[in-house]
Structure formats: C-alpha cells, structure tokens
C-alpha cells in the first residue's frame, strides 16, 4: 500500500455505514409490517370463531367485535382506525359466519423510522356454525 491509499478503507467504511444502517432499518420495518399483518389475520380468525359461537346475529356481531379488538390489544397492534365487519347473512345451524378486519396502522409506530404514512391492513376469515347447536335468528 502506498502512502496515497493509506486510510482509504476507513473512508470507505465511513461512507457506506449510513447506507447499511438505513438498509437494516428498512428490513426491520418490513418485518414489523409483516408481523402486524399476521396479527390482523389472527384477529379476523378469532372474530369469526367467536361470532360462530353466538346465539343470535346481534350476539355474533358483538362477540366478533370484542374478539378482534382483544386479539389486537393482546398482541400489541395499535390501530389508528379499526373496523370489524361480521357477516351473519348465513348465520344458522350448519351455516357460516364471516369476519373482515380493517386496521389502519401508522407506519411510524410499526417501523420506528418516523415514516409519515399509514397503511391499511385487511384480513378476512370464515368460520362454520355448529350444525347441532340451535341458533336464534
């Protein structure tokens, strides 16, 4: 190594370190967003299963809403706007109950990078109503 190249590795490292840090933070942000999507899917599943155990359409909707809200709260997902839609159009013995969860998450809260935008995470799930259990319409 001649005298003019001395310290060039240090300069290169100083220049590339910020790029690597930003890349690492981006990977973490994408991972946390994927994790939040998985939690929204769990909330939709729990909402549909809880609604399927309801005794009436109104009761099914209340149970589904409570289950989705509780699942997201237990798992630490903070929605700036949460909408839980319970489809009870086929609510009867041996029927189906559907749940769709829409959760708007602030990307700053998910990623920790100070991103200004938000993202709507949506998931749906359908659960069967027990065929041998009576249900009030």
Q: Over its length of 137 residues, how does the chain's per-residue pLDDT go in tens digits?
A: 555 666 677 888 888 988 888 888 788 778 888 989 999 999 999 999 999 999 899 999 999 999 999 999 999 998 999 999 999 999 998 899 999 999 998 877 655 566 667 889 999 999 999 888 764 55
pTM of the model: 0.80
Residues, the chain? 137
Q: Which long-range contacts (CB under 8 A, 24 or more apart) does 48-51 make?
A: 48/86, 48/97, 48/98, 48/99, 48/125, 48/126, 48/127, 49/125, 49/127, 51/86, 51/88, 51/97, 51/99, 51/127
Q: Are strands 118-128 and 81-87 parallel, antiparallel or unpaired?
A: unpaired
């Amino acid at each position: 190594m001649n005298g003019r190249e001395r310290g060039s590795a240090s300069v290169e490292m100083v220049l590339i370190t910020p790029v690597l840090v930003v890349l690492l933070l981006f990977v973490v942000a994408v991972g946390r967003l994927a994790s939040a999507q998985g939690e929204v899917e769990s909330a939709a599943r729990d909402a549909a299963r809880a609604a399927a155990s309801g005794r009436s359409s109104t009761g099914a909707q209340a149970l589904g809403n409570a289950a989705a809200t509780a699942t997201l709260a237990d798992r630490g997902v903070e929605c700036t706007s949460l909408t839980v839609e319970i489809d009870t159009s086929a609510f009867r013995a041996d029927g189906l109950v559907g749940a769709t969860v829409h959760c708007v998450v602030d990307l700053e809260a998910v990623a920790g990078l100070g991103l200004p935008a938000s993202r709507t995470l949506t998931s749906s799930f359908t659960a069967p109503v027990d065929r041998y259990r009576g249900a009030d319409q």
